[in-house]
Each structure stands twice: as C-alpha cells, then as structure tokens.
Structure 1
C-alpha cells in the first residue's frame, strides 16, 4: 500500500555559465498524515510493490510537477524521470502518456527533458519512443551515465542531448585515482557527441571543482540545494556559485604557477643531464640530483623514438641502469608527436599531460628535449603525485 499524498519536489540544476538556476528535476515524495515528506525511491526499488500502483503513482507525481511548472520562470526546463521498462511495454502506435500530460497542462515540450533512468528495456523500442519525444520538441537525458557498459550502447542508440554522470562514480572520481581518468574520458566522449554533461551529487567544493574540470554544463546537489516543494528564486545561488568558481580559478592559476616553476627546474635538469650525455661520461660521473626529488628515471631515444640507452634511476643512494626497454620504440605515445612538432628543429622542452604508467602503476609526466643537433632525445619521467 502506498501511504501518503503524492507530491513533486524540485531540485535545481545550476548553470555553470551563469550560476543561475537553469531548470529543476522533479523528484517524488509522499506527504504523510503528520506532514512528513518521504521519498518514493524505495517503493520503485522494491520488486514487491504493485506495478499498476507504481505506474499510477508515477503519473500522479508527473501531473503534480507539470501543473505547477507555470510558477517557475518561463526559461527553466523540467526534468522528468522515465522508466525504460515501462516504455518497452507500450504498443508501437500507442499515444505516449507523458506527451498527453504535457498537452493536458499546456506545457511546451521544449521545456521538458525526459530523463531515461535505470538499465534494461528494449533499446530499439526505447529509441522509437525517444524519437517521438524529440519530434515533439522535448530533449533527452540519460541518467547514471557510466554505471554500466550497456549505457554506451544506449548513448549510440538514443543520441541524447544530456548525460548525467553516475553519482557514485562521479563522487569516487572527485577523490582522484583511476576513476577520475575514467570520468574525464566519459566527459570528453560526451563533448565530442554534442551532449551536455550534468554532474549530480555535488556535495562538496572539491566535487564542484571536479565537475568544472570535466566541463559540466550543469551541477546538481546538496552543495547548493536538495529537493523542496517550492521553487527557489532564479538567482538564489548566483553569488555563492560565483565565489566558489573564483576559488576554483585561483586554484587553477596556482597550478599554472607550479607548472611554470616545474618547467624552470626541468630546464636546469635537462642542461645537467645533456651535458653528462654529451660528454659520454660514465655512470659514476652522474650527480645525485637531490634538488629534483620528483625525478623517476631518464633515458635517451634516437630521433625516431627508439630507446638507445637504459633507464637510469636513483635507488638506494646510487644510480641503477635498467636495460629492459633498450630497443623499444615510443613514437606511438601521444607526447611523442608533441615533441616532434615543437622540439625537433627548435629543441624546445615539452611536457606531457599526466598519465598512469602501466608498468609501475605510478602517475607520471614525461618531459622531453632534443639535443645533439636533433639526433638524440632526452626523456625524463616525473612523479606526478607530489605535484
């Protein structure tokens, strides 16, 4: 039995371009006899809940949200959750109940985002229904993007306008580590397919910073507001967001300063190592280089990317030569093309983006510079964790 009066509550989406509210998501609540509001989420997650009662509840909540949308600014959008399992049960030519509700309440479909929740359902039938939503003027979002492999198939089939990053994956990625790279890659993929990114579950400043790092168009979460029955003022979070964004920018500027210092130190290190290499001095003549604690190893390649010296690493107070990679060609690595483009003729120092080395499982950067009239390339691997 469903206990309580269905009520739609609204959680805002903050536009990262303005700090203003761009829209809201309708989230279902039940108002109990004592006035308490409880989420309907557990009911929809419980397989014991009667399916007919759930569909009726879902439509009641949607009706409630649509009936009140006129209270919000006219440029806001409303995000409505749609279950793909229920969509799959619709007959091919059956009128779509959600579009009928929009017409009933006089809501322009262009103000609506249909948010496809959960996995499952017939993808082909789902794509057919999504096409009808889009033809009516509505936009399509995929929720929990990154939560399952089938989501990639769904993106290709539905060609959504918006992708909402899976909250648990996003929050874990904001802490750093491999999941951070995965989420950034997903965000880049979304950008290339023309999708806007929504980061939901933004609860801390660090998570907001990561959302901005990923290029999120909208952010949603308790850092700004939870769901409530009344609409917030459109500019309710502009000042707070501007303050947080400025702090983020200052952090990025500080990173640039650290990077500039690192480049200066690398230039000094390159000069020391190149002088040693040019002199073809023995390993015993190589200094200890305590001033560069982030140095992992260095080695030389020919101009075509083939390693011609061992890796040289400082271990246990002495230089150690690792011969395992002699003869390996590294021209396939992304940073090598930057070296060729920027450094072959002018012998400029170049620095790669951060990456995880598969052999050592360390996060690294690689600096490189041609010398010896462009015939040799000195590469330095740097421990990125401390930087």
Structure 2
C-alpha cells in the first residue's frame, strides 16, 4: 500500500506543502502551470537551506492587492476553473473547512463571511496547488504525525492571541489531528491546517514499511531548528481502512416494541451506518432502552432529528469518537453443488487495503432460498458456501 506521510515537526503552511510535494517528485513546471492557469500569480520554485537542510522553496508572487473576498466569491471562482473534478472538489472542501472555522470565530454565517488573508491570491494558489499535487500522488492513504503549532502569540484583526490563531484552532478542533506546542512563533497557518485536515488521517508515529521517496518544503521562518515540512512516500503493509464517525446515543423508557422494531429501518433510510438497541433499567426501576447509532458527521443532525421524531426523545448525545477501523468489502459469486444440482451464491468478502482476505460470509437470502429448494439445512448450506468461497478466493 502506498502511503503519503506528512511530518509537520516545524509546522505547516500552504507553500511548505507545495515545496514538500515538489521534493517528492511532482513536476515543478507542471505544478506552476496548473496554478498560473487559474489564478493571476507567478509561481517561483527554487531551493533554500534551512539549518543545513536543503529544501524546496515555493513562492507565490501576487499581481493583485485584492484580499477581501467573500466566501461565496472564492467558491464560485474555483467552480469556474478548468481544474480536474477531483482537484476542484478538494479545493472547495478545504475552503469550506476554512470558512466554517472563520464563521464560528467571527459569529457570522458563511453567506456574509469575508476572507482576508486566506482570500488573497497566494492562499488560493496554495490550496489549488496542494490539491493538484496530493491528488497527483495517488496515495492509498495520507497520514500526518502530530503537528507543531509553534508558540508565543499571533497578531489577529482584534489584537494578539496565543498560538494557534483562533481560526486555526477551530480547524484543528474538527480535524482529529494531534497537536503540540514548541517554539516562540506561529508555525501552523490556517491554510496549512485546512489542507492537512482535509487530506490526512492522524498517526502517532511512522508506520512500518519501506521509504520510497522523501521531500522537504521550506518555510519562511528562521528558527533554531530547520523550518521545513518533511514528507515521504512509503510502501507499508496492508492496513485496515478508517472512516470518521460519530456515535449518537439516547435513552428511552416509554417507547413500544412496535416503534423500536421499525426504528432500525427508519434510521438506516436517513443515513445511519448501524443501529443498536439495548434493554436497560432506567431511574425508579423502569425498563427502557439505550439506542446507539453510528453515523457520518455530516449525517448526524438529520439522523438525530429522525430519532427524536420516531421516539419522542428530547435529547441525543454525541459520543466523542475519532474514527473507526473498517474492512474493505466486496461481493463475490461462487457455485456450489447439492445433489448434483448447481446453485449460484453471493458471498461478502472483507479484506484489508493490501487485498488480504479477513473474512468471508455467505449471503443469507441466497442460502435460505437454496435451503428451501434443496431441503438441506440452512446452516449446512452456509457452511458449504463459505468453505467453497475460501478455497476459491484464497486459493486454498
């Protein structure tokens, strides 16, 4: 499995990410051409020595003083570009992350939000370039070790704040990325934080594997240690996939069995990934149930509303969860023979990202149908199906 790994031990910014990706092998002329084709800037790519470390130095030279775009203007400008769909989608989502953080900090809606620093041409160029370069890598997984946000204070529109800046902190708050503070100046910019928040999953340390390439992106700061962003491409052993989830939970003590019986299907219809209903003893000895729902963060509000409508509960808790490990799943078809009659059966195959099979299970409805026709007990049909599937798909 191909892993792209960021090591922001000296922070991260948009131009540091661009430099690191060029250091990994992204064609510098091609990157500059992509950026300059969609925004009126000049891209300069050279090298810089940072405390003895030779790093790629990317500088975005702006031709316009425009620095006060509305959020909607930035999004519309990206939509109107000729960028590849996946690059365009990534850039829009990164500015949505920045926009939502700024909206929280300033107490405004996205429609009335104005970008200042992150609305300038160089910030837009950084995001577009990073999206192009990271997508170009075609990595199976993107990982980020703990982020050094720096230290001291940073100047904001209404005075000084401790590092990280308020918008950066809000971006980190929803990212799941791990952070720490070291140094006496700001090392992590909102743009750098948003790019990593969108693309990368957190990892406490480097995974086991073989290093295929390394890259260093130069920062602007002159610090006691190298102000560079290190990246690498690694070939790592197959791992389980991860997705970001939230766990919604509520207690009910006055809901009938009939309502609970239909609740599972209702919640799955509005986007729940899984639903569990557990009997419980409530206050004053009343019998009740605990309802837990696994959901994607973007679906949580809709699912919580449906949970309230169906059960009458007055509150739904959101349990803090970073992510869950999941197996990649696919459907296969095999043929089994019973009393000289052949039957096709679907099987669910769970595997890790390297393709190693973890589990095979027979499709219940297919096996039940075959059991009814053949007269063979259901459990025997399922056993034969799974045994046959292991031999076929594992080559046993």
TM-score range, shorter chain: under 0.3
| TM-score (ref. length: structure 2) | 0.23
Which structure: greater strand fraction? 2
